[in-house]
Chain A
Amino acid sequence: MTTASPRRAAILGGNRIPFARQFGPYANASNQDMFTAALEGLVARYGLAGERLGEVVGGAVIKHARDFNLTREAVLGSSLAPETTAYDVQQACGTGLENAILVSNKIKLGQIESGIAGGVDTASDAPIMVTEKLRRKLLKINRQKTTVDMAKSALAIRPGDIGIETPANTEPRTGLSMGEHMAITAKKWGITREAQDELAALSHQNLAKAYDNGFFDDLMTSYLGLAKDQNLRADSTVEKLAKLKPVFGKGEGATMTAGNSTPLTDGASAVLLGSEEWAAEHNLTVQAYLVDGEVAAVDYVHGDEGLLMAPAYAVPRLLARQGLSLQDFDYYEIHEAFASTVLSTMKAWEDEEFCTQRLGLEKPLGSIDRSKLNVNGSSLAAGHPFAATGGRIVASLAKMLHEKGPGSRGLISICAAGGQGVVAILEGA
C-alpha cells in the first residue's frame, strides 16, 4: 500500500562538525557547544540568520541532567530567530534519523514549513553519577529540616557507598556491551574477520576519497581546529587491520577488533528540511525528498534475535509499503556500528530461512550491489557520535542523490541500542 502524502518533505542541505575521537580536540566541548556549532554552520551555509524555522529537533544519547532542554538552549545560542521552537528526542543511535523523519512528517502534514533535524553526542564530556546507594542517602540528607537530622542521615553513608559511575555502553537487561552482543550475532552469521577488515578498509578509503574530491566542502564546518574526521586513516589497508587483536568475543572465533568497530566519538550534525514552497521562497535547492521511514524493534532479551538486527526487519516493511525491492536503489547507507553489523544484515537479507521464517516473506530480499554501499565512507572511518550519525548520513545521501539526478533512490539503515532500528528512503531531486 502506498500512502499518498499531501505534499513532499525536501532535504535542502546539511552540516556537521568533523567528528573527533574521545578525549580528542573536543574533550572540553559540551553537547550544547557542539550542536550550536553544527547549527551555526548550517545557518551560515543557507543564510538563515534571524530566520524563524518551524522547529529544531535534536538530542543526545549521553546527556547531563542540566541539558534537559539541550536543543532549545542550542537554538538560543545560535543565530536562528529565538522564536524557533525546539525539542529533544532520544532513540539511541537512531536519534538523528528519527528526528529527520519527525520533521519531514510535520512538513508533509503542513504543520511546519521548515525545520532542522540533528543530534549530538560527546563521549568525552560525559556526566558522572554517584552510586545508587549514595544518591538515595544524599537525597535523604537533603530532605531533612534540622541540622541534627541532617547529621544523623549523613552518618548512614558507608565507605562502600562512595564511588562514581560513568555511562556505560552496556545493555541494562543483558549486562552485555554492544560489542559483545554483536560478537554473538557475527558468530551466528559466520562473518569472517577478513570480510570485516575489508569493509573497514574500504570505509576509510572511501571517506578519504570523498575528502579529496571536496565532497564535504558544503557538508561540514570546521570546529576547534579540526577540519576532517579525526578517526580517518586514509592509508588504511586490510593488511594493517589484520594485525589488530580482537576486542569483542572470545577465543578462536573472535573477529571484532578496534579497527572494524566504531570508536567512541564526539560530534554533531544537522539537516535542513522544508516544504518545496519554503525552499523556493528562500532560494534553496531541493537536494532530495525524505520519502518514508520505518522503525523496528527486536526481542534480544528473551528472544534469540541479535541486538543490532532490527533494521533487517524495518527495511522489508518499508519496502513493502513503498512497493519497492531491495535492488531498487542507487545508494545504500548502512550504518557501520561494526563492520559485522553491516555484513550480518546483508547476509540475513540473502538468507532464505531468515527471510521466510522471521520476516514472513516468500523469498529472500536478495543481495545488494556492494559498489553502491557507503560509497563516501561510513561510521568505521568517520566515527560515530551516537545521535549525530543520522544527520551525517541523511545530508551526505541527499547530496549524492542530487548529484545522481531526479528519481534516484537511497536507502538508510541505522541500528540502535535497545534492539531498535531506524530506516528511511530518500529520493533525489
Chain B
Amino acid sequence: MAFNYGQFVSGGIGKQLATTLGLPRPTKLRRHKVGGSLIPGEVLVAGHGEAPVAERVRHLLSDAGVKVATSPSTSVAGVVLDLTAVETPADLETLRGVVGPALKTLAPTGRVIVIGRPPESATSVAQAAARRAVEGIVRSIGKEMRGGGTANTVLVAEGADAGVDATVRFLLSGRSAYVSAQVFHVAKPVGDVAAPADWDKPLAGKVAVVTGAARGIGAAIADTLARDGATIIAVDMPQAGGPLAEVANRLGGTALQLDVTAEDAGAKIVEHAQARHGGFDIVVHNAGITRDKLLANTEADRWDSVLQVNLLSILRMNEALIPAINDGGHIVNVSSIAGIAGNRGQTNYAASKAGVIGMTQSLAADKAVLKKGITVNAVAPGFIETEMTAKVPFATREVGRLMNSLSQGGQPVDVAETIGFFAWDANRAVTGNTVRVCGQMLMGA
C-alpha cells in the first residue's frame, strides 16, 4: 500500500514526530451516519440586532432534537450567527464577541455558520462593506479552525429566510464534512419547499440518473443517493459495463450503457427512465475525462474529446432531459477545482469545468427551468481520494492531500453528500450555486 501521511501521523512514532515538529495532524472527519444525530452536542445560536434567521435556526434545532446554547461558556459543537441585520462594519463586533470565545471551546469537527445578506442588495455603502466583510472573516476562521472543523457563509436574499433551513441543516450535519469556506446563496425558492418525512431518507421515492456511475466519485454518488432513498439509473460507457452492473445491482437500480457524447444520449436516458421508472427527478452530470498536456502540446483531438465529454455532452443531453424531468426536479453538475483555480497541463479540462460553472448559473436562471421549479447547481471537488489520485506520484499526492485547511484529502462520499443535498426537495432555495468540496483548498479563489 502507498504511504499515507494522514495515517502515519495518526498514532505511534508518526504521531510523536508530527507533534514534536509541529506538523499538521488531520482529524478523522465527522461524516453522516444513518440514524445518527444532526450534530453531536449543543449549538450556540446568536445574532446581531433582530436576527430573524437565528429564530428559524432555533426552531430547526429543537425540531431536530439539538440543544440550543446561549453562551459559549460550555463547549459547543457548532455556532450559528445571524448577521443579516448588520448596517456597518462596526456591527461586526458582534461576530468577534460571539465566535471568538466559542472557537476556544469548540468541539472537534465543529461547525461555524455565519448567515448574512448578499452585498449586492445592500442599501448603503457601509452596509455593503459590512456584508462583504463576512465572507473574509469566515474564510479566515476556516483556516484558524483545528480538529476537522468547518466554517461557511450563507447569504440569504431579502425575503427568502424560509429557504435557509435545508442549507443550515446540511452544514451542521456530517454530510458537509469536507465543505469549508464556501458561500451558499439562498434565494426565493423555485418551488414548494418540502421537508422529507424522514431526514435519513430525504430522497425517498425519487428517481436519480447518475452518469459516470461505474467507478470512483460516480459510484459513490449512486451509493449515497440510494442510501438516501432514491432509485438509481446508473449510466456509463459500454466499456465500463461490468463495474456499472455491480453498482446497479448493489443498489437495486438499473444500468444504462451509453456514450454521453452520442447524439441520442439524452433521448435514451429519457426513454429508459420513463419506460422503466415512470420518469425521473434528479440528474447528476458526473461523467468526465482528463487528457492532460501543456496547452502548447495539446492537439485538437485531446482538446475536443475533453470538451465533448465534460461539457458539450451535458448541454446536448439537457435539451432532452429538461423537458422530461419531473417538475420540481434537481440537476447537479460536477465541476472541479481546476475549473476555478486552473491547473498546469489541464487547459482543456479547466475549460470544460469552468464552463460547467457558467452553464450552471445560466441554466438555473433559464425561464423554462424556473417554470418547472428545477434547481441547477454544481459541485467542484478538490483533492478526493480515488483510484485516480492514488496513482498520482507520492510528493504531488501528499501536497494535494495536505494543501487544505483540513490537512487531508476528501472522500468520494463527501462530494456525493453535497450532490445529495442539492437534490433535496427541502432545498429549492439554493440554485445556480457552485460549491467546492475541497476542505478549503489553498488553491483558487
Whole-angstrom CA separation of A37 from B244 in the bound complex: 12
User: Which interface residue of B248, B259, B278 has the most chain A CB atoms within 10 A?
Assistant: B248
Contact among A44, A217, A283, A285 with B248 in the assembled complex (CB-CB below 8 Å): A44
A37 touches B242 (CB 8 A): yes
Find the B residue at minimum CB distance from A283. B276
Q: Which of A206-226 contact B (CB under 8 A)?
A: 214, 216-218, 220-224
Whole-angstrom CA separation of A284 from B250 in the bound complex: 20
B248 touches A220 (CB 8 A): no
Find the A residue at minimum CB distance from B232. A47
A47 touches B276 (CB 8 A): yes
Whole-angstrom CA separation of A211 from B250 in the bound complex: 28
Whole-angstrom CA separation of A288 from B248 in the bound complex: 25
A224 partner residues in chain B, CB cutoff 8 A: 242
**Interface size range on A against B:** 20 to 34
B238 touches A44 (CB 8 A): no
Whole-angstrom CA separation of A285 from B275 in the bound complex: 8
A222 touches B277 (CB 8 A): no
Chain A, residues 73-112, CB within 8 Å of chain B (1/0): the string is: 0000001000000000000000000000000000000000
Contact among B240, B252, B257, B262 with A47 in the assembled complex (CB-CB below 8 Å): B252
Whole-angstrom CA separation of A34 from B279 in the bound complex: 33
**Interface size range on B against A:** 20 to 34
- B438 interface hit (Cβ, 8 Å): no
User: Which interface residue of A45, A214, A285 has the most chain B CB atoms within 10 A?
Assistant: A45
Whole-angstrom CA separation of A37 from B243 in the bound complex: 10
Quote the shortest CB–CB distance from B364 to chain A (angstroms).
31
B249 partner residues in chain A, CB cutoff 8 A: 40, 43-44, 49, 79
Contact among A50, A214, A216 with B252 in the assembled complex (CB-CB below 8 Å): A50
B254 partner residues in chain A, CB cutoff 8 A: 44-47
Find the A residue at minimum CB distance from B248. A44
- A41 interface hit (Cβ, 8 Å): yes
- A227 interface hit (Cβ, 8 Å): yes
B238 touches A220 (CB 8 A): yes
B245 touches A217 (CB 8 A): no
A220 partner residues in chain B, CB cutoff 8 A: 238, 241, 257
B248 touches A49 (CB 8 A): yes
A217 touches B238 (CB 8 A): yes
* With contact pairs A214-B262, A217-B258 given, residues A43 and B245 touching in the complex (Cβ less than 8 Å): yes
- B246 interface hit (Cβ, 8 Å): yes
- B255 interface hit (Cβ, 8 Å): yes
Contact among B239, B250, B252 with A222 in the assembled complex (CB-CB below 8 Å): B239
Quote the shortest CB–CB distance from A79 to chain B (angstroms).
4
A221 touches B277 (CB 8 A): no
Quote the shortest CB–CB distance from B168 to chain A (angstroms).
36
A47 partner residues in chain B, CB cutoff 8 A: 248, 252-254, 276
B253 partner residues in chain A, CB cutoff 8 A: 47, 49
Whole-angstrom CA separation of A218 from B254 in the bound complex: 12
Quote the shortest CB–CB distance from A74 to chain B (angstroms).
14
Contact among B239, B252, B277 with A49 in the assembled complex (CB-CB below 8 Å): B252
Q: Which of A221-261 contact B (CB under 8 A)?
A: 221-224, 227
A223 partner residues in chain B, CB cutoff 8 A: 241-242
User: Which interface residue of B239, B248, B253, B257 has the most chain A CB atoms within 10 A?
Assistant: B257
Q: Which of B258-291 contact A (CB under 8 A)?
A: 258-259, 262, 275-278
Whole-angstrom CA separation of A13 from B256 in the bound complex: 13
Whole-angstrom CA separation of A41 from B256 in the bound complex: 10
A227 partner residues in chain B, CB cutoff 8 A: 238-239, 241
B262 partner residues in chain A, CB cutoff 8 A: 214
Whole-angstrom CA separation of A224 from B242 in the bound complex: 8
* With contact pairs A43-B245, A43-B249 given, residues A217 and B257 touching in the complex (Cβ less than 8 Å): yes
Whole-angstrom CA separation of A214 from B260 in the bound complex: 12
User: Which interface residue of A37, A47, A50, A227 has the most chain B CB atoms within 10 A?
Assistant: A47
Find the A residue at minimum CB distance from B214. A222
Chain B, residues 213-257, CB within 8 Å of chain A (1/0): the string is: 000000000000000000000100011111011101111111111
Whole-angstrom CA separation of A224 from B244 in the bound complex: 13
Whole-angstrom CA separation of A220 from B253 in the bound complex: 18
Chain A, residues 46-74, CB within 8 Å of chain B (1/0): the string is: 11011000000000000000000000000
Quote the shortest CB–CB distance from B62 to chain A (angstroms).
39
A79 partner residues in chain B, CB cutoff 8 A: 249-250
Chain B, residues 137-163, CB within 8 Å of chain A (1/0): the string is: 000000000000000000000000000
* With contact pairs A44-B254, A227-B238 given, residues A283 and B245 touching in the complex (Cβ less than 8 Å): no
Find the B residue at minimum CB distance from A224. B242
Find the B residue at minimum CB distance from A51. B252
B259 partner residues in chain A, CB cutoff 8 A: 214, 217
Chain A, residues 19-37, CB within 8 Å of chain B (1/0): the string is: 0000000000000000001
The 27 sampled A-B contact pairs (Cβ below 8 Å) are A40-B245, A40-B249, A44-B234, A44-B244, A44-B249, A44-B254, A45-B245, A47-B248, A47-B252, A49-B250, A214-B258, A214-B259, A214-B262, A216-B238, A217-B238, A217-B258, A218-B256, A218-B257, A220-B238, A221-B241, A222-B241, A223-B242, A224-B242, A283-B275, A283-B276, A283-B277, A285-B275
* Shortest beta-carbon contacts, A-B, top 5: A44-B245, A44-B255, A221-B241, A44-B248, A79-B249
Besides A49-B248, A217-B259, A222-B238, 6 new A-B residue pairs in contact (Cβ under 8 A), listed by A number: A40-B245, A44-B254, A50-B252, A214-B238, A220-B238, A221-B242
